[in-house]
Amino acid sequence: MSSELTLPAIVLALIALFLVAWRYVIPGIKRLREYSRMVSTCGYLAPPPTPRAFKWGMRLAKLLAFIQVGRIKIIGRENIDKVDGPYIVTPNHPHWADAVTMPIMMNRPARYMAAQDVFTFAGGLGGLLVAPLGAFAADLNQGKGGPARKAAVEVLTSGQKLVMFPEGFAYLDGHLGEFKKGAIRIAREASQQLGKMTYIIPVNLRYGRYPGSWIRRLPPPVEYLLVFLMFVVFRRGLTMVVGEPIPIDKFSSDDKEATEQLKQAIVALDPALRKGALKE
């Protein structure tokens, strides 16, 4: 008798759940998928981060940095505040954790050019996490980055702050990768469009410990996951050195030479080189 009385209630509950899912859950999932698809497109600029998104993003960044990095020492942070005009912050890229330590250093809303793979990670979950915090996708394959460069110029000409890694990918063994010409080209074009000087601010990130060269033999997602899981081994702090802002007209007119100048400016800030030795 009891089962006969509860059966209609169960059926009604299932129907109600189906209707709720049909009305709210399924459309919500579709919207999230569409948003993920859009923000994963090279050069698509989502709206700037809201104050609420920035607040929660900073909390997440500090939590992840505490777990993976530990103590963070910032030298020359005042150099960012010296700039009266558009600028690009250009750090080297020796760790996946750069994505959480740079917002801590900036301590203000900014836009971050990130590899497209970050946005497509875990079926698009990566894009859902980073796009609301100001990131936009760049296709790092040769000849495919035009839309991202255009978006970066739009960021600068609209008065927003831009952070980008000239190496493109993170190289977790602590050695520099090949620098791309995008930062120089973006700064030049923004300067031309605005009719005013654009600056590039070099930044050097030096972590306390890196894996050996063997780490590059692994696929990037495996690299990042392995280093994250082994945080007890690699949690040795970070020194961030912010250099003097460099006006774009101080670089060579040749993009290749100018990119090499930028690379050397970043290398010159390395605190390990100042001590006369690189620690692996």
Query: What's the chain's length in residues?
Result: 280
Residue given tokens 């330590």 in the structure block:
101
* pLDDT for the residue 275: 57
Rounded average pLDDT per 10-residue block, the chain, 280 residues: 60 71 69 89 94 94 96 96 94 95 96 94 86 94 92 96 95 92 97 96 96 89 90 94 97 96 96 57
- For residue 123, the Cα-to-chain-centroid distance in whole angstroms is 18
Q: For residue 229, what are the domain limits? A: 40-274
Is there a domain that residue 10 lies in?
Answer: no
As a whole number of angstroms, the distance between CA 148 and CA 151 comes to 5
CB 93: neighbour CB atoms within 10 A? 22
Is there a domain that residue 189 lies in?
Answer: yes
Is there a domain that residue 56 lies in?
Answer: yes
* pLDDT for the residue 4: 53
* pLDDT for the residue 278: 40
Q: How many domains does the chain have?
A: 1
As a whole number of angstroms, the distance between CA 273 and CA 110 comes to 29
Instruction: Kindly report the CATH number assigned to the domain that includes residue 82.
Output: 3.40.1130.10
* pLDDT for the residue 68: 96
Instruction: For strands 199-207 and 238-242, give the pairing.
Output: antiparallel
Is there a domain that residue 279 lies in?
Answer: no
Is there a domain that residue 130 lies in?
Answer: yes
Is there a domain that residue 206 lies in?
Answer: yes
Angle at 109 between CA 267 and CA 162, to 5 degrees: 45
CA atoms within 13 A on the CB side of 42: 16
Q: Are 180 and 146 in contact (CB under 8 A)?
A: no
For residue 189, give every residue at least 6 positions away whose Cβ sits within 8 Å of its Cβ, in sequence order, or none: 149, 153
Q: Are 202 and 262 in contact (CB under 8 A)?
A: yes
Is there a domain that residue 18 lies in?
Answer: no
User: What sign for the dihedral angle of Cα 141, 144, 145, 151?
Assistant: negative
As a whole number of angstroms, the distance between CA 178 and CA 167 comes to 6
Is there a domain that residue 103 lies in?
Answer: yes
* pLDDT for the residue 40: 94
